A and B are shown apart, each in its own frame.
Chain A
């Protein structure tokens, strides 16, 4: 029986989680932009820049192109933002006992991560521009190639827990709690990245691509080829909503990786655990940024080849290890 107090508590927690996610993603976006600028011999923006850009967009003219499907054109940024907000609530930000999510929240995470990508596809098709359509078709190709290794890599920690006698669970909180302590003569922390490194690599590559980072990720918005891809026709507040959703992406996907494979904030007291969690997220962001900066953009055919052979093989190696019990 859910009382009013429980309901208000969960509602408050929801807003606290969104606020925390917003702060984390702000820092992540700034680290991404500053670091890539410094690596490219530029100065880089100040800390307020990622949010200032979005605020500026909300002050601009509202505009809908005449060729666009009006309903979908307005709907798709809202779908993207709501999907990423739900994701940022589902993923515990370094607090071990996160009461919000349900016992099957990994499925919800998978579902909404696809939903987020699909919002860009809808945006590209709805905007009525050839560049938007090409960008949308590229995004579809990326979804088709990335989602299979991503799904396997996300489901490997709970499968490993079920194999190890924890009982079948699809809750991220259970996955985080299971990563407390040490193993291998107490040298290494008990994180899944050390148990299943190949699956962690597959998840990392998939999330890198889903965050629209090079070498594979920024194909849908390759500005030298198709302007801004799905977002070519967007401007003003609707683009602002999309940019806000993309700001949250800097946090959400790194947080998912940290929670599933790097132990989240496990084994620490409440305020310190959030700090440690933020540091882990930032280090993942830094690694992603360095890969983004140090690589050229591949073609869409390369994405198919890479993710349905190499990356899928990485995920399957870990899956076979769980099935065989090695």
Chain B
């Protein structure tokens, strides 16, 4: 009898202390204002605390690696440019670098500087985009508007060089497709000064504003050991104190002669990730300026002669704005690659989120997700389809997909 009485505890419905709030699953995605692309975070939430996270990718699968096996090396340039809109220069740089390793092609000097310039301008545009989105996600709409206004300057520069704001189509196998005129250089330098000023303003705001501090310092902290285990790359790795940067470790293009610092931070929270990216903005402006100075003095061709692609395999990697981007190509001696493999930085960094999100407030989830700068268009490699009635999972081959979606 006494036991029964003990087990019958009354729960007061609205009591404040020691009450377990009902757990429910909050769907963050596949489409959500905080996410720019399709990805699905299944958040198990108790009150405002996130207990558990599950991540589902694959909403943006386009079968690019399979498509690459049907196209020639020259056609693949346009295909790999379209893996990602934001880091299109990085993707073609990685692809052309891999092909050049296959064919043992030496780049002319001028092409090296132009490629480096484009890569750094793209990094500026990508990091400014990230900073703006990050500010918007913590509710600082003003700084988002101002940063994106300043980002227009770098897009203007990219447009004046290549003709496009995105998808610059500058890189080709053995060099670049367009030259930079001498009278264009002073205009670019002027814009770089504006960008430098904008970067300094943004950095000052991030360093001084109490609201930004309250929302970023100590939030979404990534443990260094976990970061090493899941092999994070790029600014995320540098924000936990790992000094890795392909530009320094395995120099390509003109990076072996450009002086620049690898920016690192220690804490691994969102604030240090922001600091790393803002510091890299300053470095990128400096590298661009160096390349422009060199372009004034160097002359010569902008692309090398390419004749054949001998059989073999090659791995090329570059530092994309989000981290190490790796391309693997197998050649069988014909003009189409036998196998192409792309490993994007977001593919590694996204899994850090599973560790960063646990125990966070729901209010901090969007900025934490954005802090690793996930790029879903790059990441999605495979899609599995679950039949809702039989609960069986299946993967589709490219032929099945094209049968479904192509007009006959």
Mark interface residues in B232-255 (1 if CB within 8 Å of A CB, else 0): 000000000000000000000000
Which of A39, A41, A222 makes the CB contact (< 8 A) with B363? Answer: A222
Q: How large is the interface on B (under 10, 10 to 19, 20 to 34, 35 or more residues)?
A: 20 to 34
> In the complex, are the beta carbons of A41 and B145 less than 8 A apart?
yes
Asked if B48 and A295 make an inter-chain contact with CB atoms under 8 angstroms apart, the answer reads no
B26, closest chain A residue (CB)? A130
CA A218 to CA B363, docked complex, whole Å: 12
B residues apposed to A, CB below 8 Å: 24, 26-27, 32-34, 47-48, 135-142, 145-146, 149, 209, 211-212, 214-215, 361-366
Can you report 28 residue pairs joining A to B where beta carbons are below 8 Å apart? A40-B142, A40-B146, A41-B146, A130-B24, A134-B48, A134-B362, A137-B47, A214-B139, A219-B363, A222-B363, A224-B34, A224-B366, A225-B363, A227-B33, A293-B141, A293-B142, A296-B139, A296-B209, A296-B211, A296-B215, A297-B138, A297-B139, A297-B140, A297-B215, A298-B211, A298-B214, A299-B361, A300-B361
Q: Which chain A residues lie closer than 8 Å to B138 at the CB level? A: 296-297
Q: How far in angstroms is the closest Cβ of chain B from A232?
A: 11
B139 touches A42 (CB 8 A): no
Q: Looking across the interface, which residue of chain B has its beta carbon closest to that of A301?
A: B361
The 7 A-B pairs of least Cβ separation, nearest first, read: A297-B139, A296-B211, A40-B145, A296-B140, A224-B34, A224-B137, A299-B363
Within the complex, the shortest CB–CB distance from B213 to chain A, in Å, comes to 9
User: Which one of A39, A41, A299 lies within 8 Å of B214 (CB-CB)?
Assistant: A299
B-side contacts of A134, CB under 8 Å: 26, 48, 362
How close is A140's CB to chain B, nearest CB, in angstroms? 10
> Is A114 an interface residue, CB under 8 A from the partner?
no
- Chain B residues with CB below 8 A from A130, complex form: 24, 26-27
We find that the number of chain A residues with CB closer than 8 angstroms to chain B is 29
Contact between B136 and A224 (Cβ–Cβ < 8 Å)? Answer: yes
- Cβ–Cβ < 8 Å partners of B26 in chain A: 130-131, 134
The answer to whether B215 and A299 touch across the interface, beta carbons within 8 angstroms, is yes
Give CA–CA (A39, B32) in the complex, Å.
27
Within the complex, the shortest CB–CB distance from B85 to chain A, in Å, comes to: 21
User: A36 CA to B142 CA in the complex, in Å?
Assistant: 8
A225 in contact with B34 (CB, 8 Å): yes
Find chain A residues with CB under 8 A from B48 CB: 134, 137, 300
Q: Once the chains are docked, how many angstroms separate the CA of A130 from the CA of B44?
A: 12
CA distance A296 to B362 in the complex (A): 16
Residue in B24, B138, B209 with the greatest tally of chain A CB atoms within 10 Å: B138
